Structure formats: C-alpha cells, structure tokens
Structure 1
Amino acid sequence: MAVLHNDYIFLPKTKKEYPHISSQDTDDTIRIQARKNVLLYIRNIFGEPICKDKENIVFKIIYTYEMQIKNIMYEVIFTIYNITRYSYLDICVRGKTTYQVVSALEYIHDKIIGSDIERDYIMIVSYDSVSEYYCNKAYPKLNKLL
C-alpha cells in the first residue's frame, strides 16, 4: 500500500486583493466581508465525507473520503487546521501503487485549483509529493548524462 501527501497553506486575500466585495455601497449600507473557509471549499468539491473526525483540538478537522478516480478506489484524508486567519490543508492518499497515488494527488490538486478557492485565498503548496516522485524518477536518468 502506497501513501503520499501534499500540504497547502491558504492565506486570506486582503481587501486590495479581494475586489469583488466592497465594504460600503453608494447608499451607505455597510456589508460584512465574509468568505468561505477552506473546509467549505473541500466539501463543495468532493461532497460529504464518509467520516468526520473533530478531535479535542478546536482548530483541527479531519475528513475521510473513499474516492473512485479513473476506476480505482483510494482512501483520501483531508486534515484542515484553522489557525487565526490562516488555513493549513494536509491531503493524504492511500492506494495500491505509488504511481496510482501520484495520479490521484494530481487529480485532487487539479480539482482544488479548478474551484474558486483562489478568489478568496492565496494558495501555497508547502509540500508536493507529486513533484518529489517525478524528480526521483528523473534523477537516475540525469546522472547517466554526467
């Protein structure tokens, strides 16, 4: 069984970077600036999880999914940490082979990028197992050129 993960940091956009919400209309109505949190984006993209685990830690939520991607089943665990204004997302994927897990992580990453999450957040990939996998595959071939 292969297990790989990707880690993300989500920084909320400031008002200057967040032009689709105005704090005041022309009729002096004040609007509350609210944005979806990362947890809601994950649920909108992937649906309801099969298991929700809220630990004793207030800022940590774990969602477990069984996903079928290209006719292959995977166990996917999203761990979301909300600390002050920032959100940290760890995605752990379990599958039969490393190549299949890498393909699943690419699919999940593309789904997250394809959502509107970058409208509300600056997304930083803090750890990328997919890139590490491909670099390790290419490294022996590059050494042969030396």
Structure 2
Amino acid sequence: MAPSDPELLTLTNEDERFYPLLGPLLARRTVHKALGGYAPFDDDGKTWIVARDPAGRTLGFVGLTPRATTKDLHVESLYVAPGERAALYTLLLRAAVRAADGRALHATAARARRDHFLAAGFTHIPFTEKFDKFTREATP
C-alpha cells in the first residue's frame, strides 16, 4: 500500500469498530443520495470493507451480502465521500473481489460507476437508464 492509500478494514456489524466508523453515515441523506436513493443497511451476515485515512476518517465503503440460494455475493452500498479521489471506488471494488475469495459477485450500481467495476474485472450488463448490472464469475 502506498503512503497515500487509505487503510482498508474488513468488518461486520458485530465488530466494535463498525458503528463508530459507519454508524454516522448509515442514515445520512447525502450518503443515500450518492447511493442512488438507497440506504445502506447494516444487515447481519454482511461484510463491509471500509477505507479510512490515517486520521481515522471514513473515506468510503462497500458491502458484500451473501445470496440466500447460492454461495455468490451481492456487492452493494459502494460509497466514496464527496471530494475524495474517484480511484477509491476501484480500490474498494478490488478489495471486495479479494474478500470474496473466489466466489461469484453480482451488483446493481449507478452507470457512473461502470469504469470502476470494469477495472475490478466485472462484466457490464445494461439495465435501466441510470443503473447497470455487473457480474464477476467465480474463480477457482
């Protein structure tokens, strides 16, 4: 990790650091707006990757939720704080791929995030005017 790269933490809502880092952002309207109008839920079983700066400020996050019927994971709640570099989206997605440990990944995300998903090895599937679906096949 380069000195300018953020620290990446992998957490669940059971981790004592979870609510101090993410709690202030989960119900914030600006975060919901950045996520296309959707709230990031702190569901049990969800894994979060959180990027933070050396001062401990949360710069962004992404969630991984197990799908009920398969071993696949759903990538959701990809967020980067306003004013932070756009490369954090790709950094978080690549961390999600590593955390998936070879499992297939699926996401529905704003079309504006397409290049970041592609850079992390996802396949793009057009969906609606503003949102697209993304998949990344399981790897051995």
Asked if these proteins are the same fold (TM beyond 0.5), I'd say no
TM-score class normalised by the smaller sequence: 0.3 to 0.5
In the superposition, the TM-score normalised over structure 2's length comes to 0.37
Which of the pair is proportionally richer in helix? 1
Higher relative contact order (CA 8 A, sep 6+): 1
Which of the pair is proportionally richer in strand? 1
Give the structure with higher Rg (CA). Answer: 1
In the superposition, the TM-score normalised over structure 1's length comes to 0.36
